[in-house]
Amino acid sequence: MNKGDLVNAVANSAGITKAQATEAVNAVFGSIESTLKNGDSASFVGFGTFSVSKREAREGRNPATGQTIKIAASNQVKFKAGKALKDSVN
pLDDT attached to residue 54: 94
pLDDT attached to residue 82: 95
Q: What is the span of the domain harbouring residue 24?
A: 3-89
Amino acid at 11: A
pLDDT digits (tens, 9 = 90+) for 32-73: 999 999 999 999 999 999 999 999 999 999 999 999 999 999
Q: To the nearest whole number, what is the mean pLDDT of the chain?
A: 95
Q: What is the CATH number of the domain that holds 13?
A: 4.10.520.10
Give the span between the Cα atoms of 59 and 71, in whole angstroms: 6
Number of domains in the chain: 1
- 79 - beta bridge partners? 50
Q: How many CA atoms lie within 13 A of 34 on its CB side?
A: 6
pTM, whole model, 2 decimals? 0.78
pLDDT attached to residue 28: 96
Rounded to 5 degrees, what are φ and ψ at 25? -65, -45
Report the percent of the chain where pLDDT is more than 70. 100
Give the span between the Cα atoms of 30 and 24, in whole angstroms: 10
> Is residue 80 a contact partner of residue 51, using CB atoms and an 8 Å limit?
yes
